[in-house]
Each structure stands twice: as structure tokens, then as C-alpha cells.
Amino acid sequence: MFDWLANPNRFNRITEKIQPCIFLIAIITLVSGLYFSLFDSPKDYQQGDAVRIMYVHVPSAWLASILYFSLAISCVFYLVWKHPLADLVSSSIAPIGALFSALTLVTGSLWGKPMWGTWWVWDARLTSMLVLFFFYLGYILLSNAFERKIDGSKTASVLAIVGLINLPIVKFSVDWWHTLHQPASIIKIGGPSIDDKMLLPLILMIFALSFFSLYMIILNVKTKLIEKKCEALLLKSNLEEISKAG
């Protein structure tokens, strides 16, 4: 699939067609998600209206995790199969993922203040999200810390892959900590402890953010493909000048 998409022209042709669809789905789910989460969802019996923060917090958290996974996978593609497109994909994912993990931290804090009376608690999930955020940050800083883009891409990809091994361990190990956090309720599919009516806006928001991210990734990859073309053109004209001058 990736191999097949790796051709830039094919990538452009296909995305040209599906991009509007993705955008449309993102908008529809976002608007309806917002409607349900703000207007048409029940108050939690304990948290009251404060539970509404969940509809931005949890989707952000999910996306931060999912995007990191995709980032690392695309880094594997880049390092192992050396698809240049894979690097563009990973470098497009990274800032979006970093944004979502930052949003998770901020909205979580905004949730924590009314619920726990404190902005921050060194609880397992919070800590591992913080670590995730630093993996994103490390990836971004490292990929820009080299003179040659390719060196930065390779080095940062290594970091992302190490993170893929390390993050589950971090998550798992940090879970040893006693937690104030609520138990994972969606995961317990057997009997979700939250209201079905709360589930709907949650799922809608997750879809909205996922499609939005997908759209943004495609957009960024396109931008980078064009930038690459520009660079190649510039280089070519430079080299021609050099050979003329020589």
C-alpha cells in the first residue's frame, strides 16, 4: 500500500480525489460532535457539566497516541525501505501529534482544576502523556537540528522508533503509580460505565479529529512534495550556473 502510494504523482492524483471527501466528513462530524457535546449530552452524575471537557480531551489524547504510532511506523518505512515519501509523512504527522498531546495536557488540566482542585497531578496517564509530548518535541527539534535535512530525518526517525519501543514501557511502568485518574471506561467494552448518550459525541469528536488530522497530513505532505520540487529546480539551475561559469 505504502509502496504503491510512494509514487508522488499517484499520491497527488489519489489524494486530489479523496481530499474533499475527507474534509467534508471532518466538518460534518465536527459540527455534529460539537452540537452533541455542548447541547445534547447528559450531565455526569458526579461531574455535572464539567464532563463536557471530556469531548475534547479524550479525542485529543487518542489522536496523540494514534498519531505517534503512525509516525513511528512511517519512520520504519523510511529507514527500512527508504521511501522518501515516508519521511514527508512522518514530518507532517509530528507537529499535529505534538499539538494534540499539548491539547490533551491543557484540557486535562482545565478538567483537573474543578474535579481534583489542582491543575496537575503526577498521575500515570498525565505523566505518560507528558512523556509522549516530549517524544514529539524531541522528534521535531532533532529533525531540524542538522544542517542536512536527510541527516535530521534519519536521526529523528531513529528516535521515533526507539520511542515506539519505549513508550508502551513508559505507559506500562508509569501505571504502577497509584492513580487518581478515573478507570479507563471506554476500554471496558463489556459494560461501558458511561452513558450511551455521552458515547455518541465522544465518538463523533474522535472521528472529527481523526479526519481533520488525515486531511492536514495529506495537505502537509503535498506542500512538502512541492517544496522538494522547488529545491530540485533551484539546485539544478545552480549547478547549471556553476558549469557555465566553470
Partner 1 sequence: MNELFWVMQGYEIYIWPSYVLTLLSLGLLFVHSTKQLQKAKKLLKQLSKTKN
Partner 2 sequence: MSLQSSFIQIFISHIKREFLINFRSLVDVIAIISFMILIVTLFVLGIGPFEEKLKLISNAIFWIGLILAIIPSLEKTLQKDYDNGWLDQATTSPTPMELILLSKSLAYWLIVIIPLLISLPLFIVLLNIKLKLIPWLLISLLIGGLSISLIGIIGSALTLGAKRGNILLPILIIPLIIPILIFGVGISEAVRINESPLGNLFLLIGFTLIYLVISPFISAFLIRIAISR
Partner 3 sequence: MLYLKDVTIKRGLKTVFYNWSATIENSKVTIISGKNGVGKSTLLRAIAGMIPIEKGIVKNHDNEIFKDKIKWGQNLIYIDSKNGLSKDLTVFENLKTWSEMRGWKTSDNDLQKALDSVDMLNHKNLYVSQCSEGLKKRAALSRLYLSLLFDVGFWLLDEPTNELDQKSIILFNKLIQRFLENKGTILLACHELKLFNFNYELLNLDLLKKKN
Residues at the contact surface with partner 3, assessed by CB under 8 A: 147-148, 235, 239, 242-243, 246
Which partner, ligand HEM, partner 1, partner 2, none, binds residue 137 by CB below 5 to 8 Å per kind?
partner 2
How many residues touch partner 2 (CB under 8 A)?
37
Which partner, partner 3, partner 2, partner 1, none, binds residue 82 by CB below 5 to 8 Å per kind?
none
Residues 52, 83, 125, 222: which binds ligand HEM (CB under 6 A)? Answer: 125
- Give the interface segment with ligand HEM, choosing from 82-90, 138-146, 177-185, 217-225 (CB under 6 A): 177-185
Beta bridge partners of 48: 44
Verify binding: residue 61, ligand HEM, rule CB under 6 A. Answer: yes
Cα gap 242→91, rounded to integer Å: 32
Residue-level length of the chain: 246
- Please identify which residue in the block is written with the cell numbers 527539534: 141
Dump the DSSP string for 195-241: -HHHHHHHHHHHHHHHHHHHHHHHHHHHHHHHHHHHHHHHHHHHHHH
Which partner, partner 3, partner 2, ligand HEM, none, binds residue 184 by CB below 5 to 8 Å per kind?
ligand HEM
- The radius of gyration of the chain from alpha carbons, rounded to an integer in Å, stands at 21
CB of 58 to ligand HEM, least distance (A): 5
Cα gap 78→4, rounded to integer Å: 14
| Amino acid letter for position 31 | V
Cβ neighbour number for residue 111 with a 10 Å cutoff: 20
- Between the CA of residue 26 and those of 20, 31, 94, 121, what are the distances in Å? 10, 8, 20, 33
Which partner, partner 1, partner 3, partner 2, none, binds residue 57 by CB below 5 to 8 Å per kind?
partner 1
- Give the interface segment with ligand HEM, choosing from 11-19, 34-42, 66-74, 185-193 (CB under 6 A): 185-193
- Helix-, strand-, coil-residue percentages of the chain, each rounded to 5: 80, 0, 20
**Which residue ranges make up the site for partner 1 (CB under 8 A)?**
34, 38-39, 43, 48-50, 52-53, 56-57, 60, 95-96, 99, 103, 106-107, 110-111, 113-114, 209, 212, 216, 219-220, 222-223, 226-227, 229-230, 233-234, 237
| Amino acid letter for position 188 | K
Which partner, partner 2, partner 1, ligand HEM, none, binds residue 187 by CB below 5 to 8 Å per kind?
ligand HEM
Binding mask 146-165 for partner 2 (x = CB under 8 A): xxx--x--xx--xx--xx-x
Cα gap 233→227, rounded to integer Å: 10
Binding site residues, partner 2, CB under 8 A:
109, 118-123, 127, 130-131, 134-135, 137-138, 141-142, 144-148, 151, 154-155, 158-159, 162-163, 165-166, 169-170, 173-174, 176-178
